[in-house]
Structure 1
Amino acid sequence: MGNITAQIKSVTDPESVARKKTEATFEDAVELTGHGKFNNFVLLTCGLILLNVSMESVGISYVITAAECELDLGSIVSTSFLWGFLGDRYGRRAVMTPAMLASVAFSLASSFATNVWTILVLRILTGCLVSASSATVYAYLGEMHVKSRRAAAIAWGSAFISFSFIILPGLAWLIIPGEWSWQWGWMTIAPWRVFMWFWGLPALVASAALLSLPESPRHVLATKGPDAALPILARMYAWNKGKTVDSFPVSKITASTTESCRSGFGEALRNISLMVRPPLARCVLISHVSMFAVFMLSSGLYMWVPDILNNILNSKSEQSITICQIIHNKFKAAQNVTHDAGYHYCRTDVSVGVFPISMGMGAMFAIVYLAIGFFIDKIGKKTLHCSILIFCGAATIGAAFVPQGGLATVLLVLSLCCGCAGSILAAIAVDVFPTCLRAMAMCLMYMVGRAGAAVGSNLLGATLDRHCQLAFSFLGIFTMCSTILMLFWPAPEHVRRKMEEKGLSY
């Protein structure tokens, strides 16, 4: 019995494999590359990409209050399928790098807009380009790590999203309250424009870092075969072990599937058909609805949190009233001033107290993301995901009803932690989609998520003044109820076996 155990260990132990094998399966070869400097550099690069995505997405929420008079702002999809198709066909890295650079150009151009329609069009174009990275990066990050480290890597990479909630309000605190401005040609250079110029820096750094990184070896294996993937694994091994590429102990990767990914529009249609048929159809439905709920609450609410906090801090009421009453009182006061003055009245008062509170929110998110990275494999991905959504949904409802500004602010911060569940959902979804479908599946999931953010932000924009408590209650209840779907999530091993029978690799 002891001899049999020793033989099994000798086959599965990576060091033993390194000494005895010149041929290995792809998964064994990946294990041999180890975990070290290469993986940490990938994690940092992907983190910067996610930081850029978050800054481009939520930074505008700080501009809304500061620029509403100049641009006459009131309370105001997607190319994700295309980016997913391109990411699966040409590679994750090949798509993200040019898209990020183009998004920086459009983002910078939007800072020079002089009316709401120009900034709207330019922000839409920026959003389309940013979407190339927002989901493809999860496929790239996951494929660069072995299965045992994949979920933690995605969670820790997502922690960079929380850094945007520290950096953005910090920059806003330094720049936006300034009283200065000067005329430059046809436009007025105001603090909020200067604030927008900083958003593209993470994208520039990440693009430079991507140039020194290889394409995902799993994608190369699926599209070009094992011979093309082997040099990438050897390079990963050399980075991690501090050795030469030639010292990689694997000389040949044995194919584990009978079919590799094919390119072309017809293949894209075939891939879509696989996603709407068993066993993937259930995964698509559950993950998409769940991500819709996560974004509707986290991103939809966050768009208005700086303005809500500004209302709380500027409230002159001496009584303990709810945030919904504060918002309604501001709305009525603005109506009365406009009516009495006989013209459209607009004054922007940005309380500097908003910024340290927002930075505290970012610190809270960072703690939650890091905790997820440590506990996700111990508690379980589905259990952790559902627990966060239930807790955050309840906090959202409570924030609208508690008659105390300080407690309401705390509950608002806790409700926004719902966004951290998105990284867990990404880790859950990555495991079930084959390499040929992974980028498209993730991009479509995040496209639906962004649709949820649009629904949430517009719902709050239309109802905050008159039906605030109803809107908060709906967001909280919908988020909590979405966890029921996770009870029907299939076993990943079953899905993988069924898809491998169709000739698709993981």
Structure 2
Amino acid sequence: MKNSDNHKSSEEGQDLNEVTFEDAFEVTGHGRFNHLVLFTSGLIMLNVSMESVGVSYVITSAECELRLTDEHKGLVNAAAFIGIVSTSFLWGYLGDRIGRRAVMLPAMLASAIFSIASAFANDVWTLMILRIITGCFVSASSATVYAYLGEMHANTRRAAAIAWGSAFISFSFIILPGLAWLIIPGKWSFTILGINITSWRVFVWSWCAPGLAAAAILFILPESPRFLLASKGPEAALPVLAKMYSWNHWTSADNYPVEKVTTIGDAEAFKTGGFAGALKNFTHIFRPPLLRCVIISHMSMFAVFMLSSGLYMWVPEVINDILQSKSERSISICEIISEKTRNESLARSLSQPVFCNSHVSVGVFPISMAMGAVFAITYLAIGVFINRIGKKALYNGIMFICGVATIAAGFVPQGGAATALLILALCAGCAASILAAIAVDVFPTSLRAMAMCVMYMVGRGGAAVGSYLLGIILQTHCELAFTVFGAFSAGSTLLMLFWPEPQKIRDEMEERGLSY
């Protein structure tokens, strides 16, 4: 009788410990494990941002040494984005096949190596090629990190976690000009391998530190349990959940109360499908009900990056022109740029040598750091209010205000006001994290990394297009450039009127055997 009672009790305990994956995830709690994942993901986003836009502080100081024209500057500014765009699909596929962490860790180490190597470039084409290769490896983390960070948090905390992690992007706009302020004005130089190492080259090395630090921490962090669930089944996810529980509760993983996880969805089909299976799964993205989500989110991300990153690549130079303007009256940004262009054209027409000025006004750096502080406050505010205001309402409000500010920045006849409007306009970059939080909810686990990578590929394409177009037309059609960029960004908010209800998408995709 006693043995029978013990057997019955054991069966009841087993039933209690056999729970769904979401319930098992909730049991892990929220604590230092999640905080470490958030910090590491933040460092990865910081690294992606610094590698993408850091060169904007280099082009002015390297202008004379590398004999850069405005078109060259546009190409160098766009180089990292070209690398990111060209390999996003590959990294998305690999992220969904072999794992989020498995893709990010080696790629981050490789990106640091090529970024450091780019500082040894002696001509514009070598610099551009090495920055493209760097961008190719940076691409592995640029969107995969959002899938990794989101999957390491419960559904109720996912949007806030992505918003808080994205706040680290704003720190790049404080750290980059701060490092540039410390390093670039220096007149020192030294020689390595026969190459004269000047301050801007050392500056390139300095921004690799966050990526290397994040790679070191990733060595001790596990793979996403949601990825393991979708690719290998609940047995593979259970040890990671136990590790999360032990870290959050300061106890042994053996004390994790869940013994078995049940799940919905045909994980086995995804696991054994190979490349053909991955392509078959990927076709879900371009079929209803996900097709509408793809069109809206990708066009929106293009607008976000075209304005924020594309314009940002030129802001240090524009601010430098404002600070060096000798005009005795208040004139707009476009008038300052036109005046500079006329002076250079006049000198050429008179066969006078055009003096190459690689001097960067010191005032550029504190203004850029103030810009970063505004971004940081905006990101932190998003983290606080995203669940209160709503993701779509917050996204639309930010993009519309930033679009209007962009148009105004080109016409305001006062340098200080124009600079303030530029800073406000560039806050559009903060909307990318909200858009990622909106999009990540509708894509199944087995498609999430690829879908996010493709979305960010389109976004980085917008940055490359924006940066290159400004390099071509900013001097000749300045007012038109600001107007088009602003109107396109503000108008893109209309797309969100057609965004579907996420739960309906999830229900329909789960009926097809794809899990979340």
Question: Shorter-chain-normalised TM-score: which range?
Answer: over 0.9
Q: 1: distance between equivalents of 2:189 and 2:237?
A: 55
Say whether residues 1:177 and 2:185 are aligned partners: yes
Contact (CA 8 Å) 1:21, 1:249: kept in 2 or not? Answer: no
Which of 225, 243, 247 lines up with 1:239 in the alignment?
247
SS in 1 for 2:356: coil
Q: Tell me which of 247, 253, 274 is aligned to 2:284.
A: 274
**2:18 aligned partner:** 23
Q: What CA distance in whole angstroms lies between the structure 1 residues aligned with 2:136 and 2:437?
A: 23
Q: Structure 1 CA distance, aligned partners of 2:435 and 2:300?
A: 8
Percent identity, please.
Answer: 66
Amino acid at match of 2:426: L
1:123 aligned partner? 131
What letter corresponds to residue 73 of structure 1 in structure 2?
L
Q: CA RMSD in A?
A: 1.5
Contact 2:234–2:261, Cα closer than 8 Å, also in 1: yes
Letter in 1 for 2:280: R
| Equivalent position amino acid for 2:31 in 1 | G
Query: Which residue matches 1:136?
Result: 144
Counterpart of 1:325 in structure 2 is 335
TM-score scaled to structure 2, two decimals? 0.93
Q: Which letter maps to 1:68?
A: E
Where 1:250 maps in the other structure, the secondary structure is coil
For residues 264 and 19 of structure 1, the distance between their equivalents in structure 2, rounded to whole angstroms, comes to 35
Is residue 362 of structure 1 aligned with residue 382 of structure 2? Answer: no
Letter in 2 for 1:159: A
Deviation, 1:335, is 2.3
* 98, 106, 113: which one aligns with 1:105: 113
- Residue 64 in structure 1 maps to residue 59 in structure 2: yes
Instruction: Map 1:353-502; keep pairs closer than 5 Å.
Output: 353-502=363-512
Determine the C-alpha separation between the residues in 1 that align with 2:43 and 2:456. Answer: 18
Q: In structure 2, what is the equivalent of residue 203 of structure 1?
A: 211
For the structure 1 residues 167 and 493, does the alpha-carbon distance in structure 2 shift closer, same or farther, using more than 3 Å as the test?
same
- Offset from partner CA, 1:425-480 (integer Å, 9 cap, x none): 00001000000000000000000001000111111111111100100000000001
1:74 shift after superposition: 1.6
Q: Distance in 1 between matches of 2:431 and 2:302?
A: 12
CA distance in 2, matches of 1:23, 1:308: 61
Moved more, 128-137 or 239-248: 239-248
1:13-51 Cα offsets, whole Å, 9 max, x none, are xxxx99982111000001111100000000000000001
How far is 1:340 from its partner?
3.8
AA partner of residue 462 (structure 1): I
Query: What stretches of structure 1 of length at least 5 have no aligned partner?
Result: 1-16
Q: What residue in structure 2 maps to residue 293 of structure 1?
A: 303
- The 3-state SS of whatever aligns with 2:163 is helix
Count the aligned residue pairs: 490
3-state DSSP of counterpart to 1:152: helix
**Aligned residue type for 2:30:** H
**Structure 1 residue ranges, 4+ long, deviating more than 6 angstroms after superposition:** 17-20
Q: Using the alignment, how far apart are the partners of 1:147 and 1:292 within structure 2? A: 26
351-360 or 258-267, which deviates more:
258-267
How does 1:62-101 map onto structure 2 within 5 Å?
Answer: 62-75=57-70, 76=74, 77-101=85-109
Which residue identity does 2:306 align to in structure 1? M
Partner residue, 2:237 = 229
Kindly state the Cα deviation for residue 86 of structure 1 after the two structures are TM-superposed: 0.3
Q: Tell me, yes or no, if the aligned pair for 2:233 and 2:267 is still in contact at 8 Å.
A: no
Structure 2, unmatched stretches of 5+, are 1-11, 75-84
Q: Report the Cα distance in structure 2 between the residues aligned to 1:465 and 1:358, rounded to whole angstroms.
A: 22
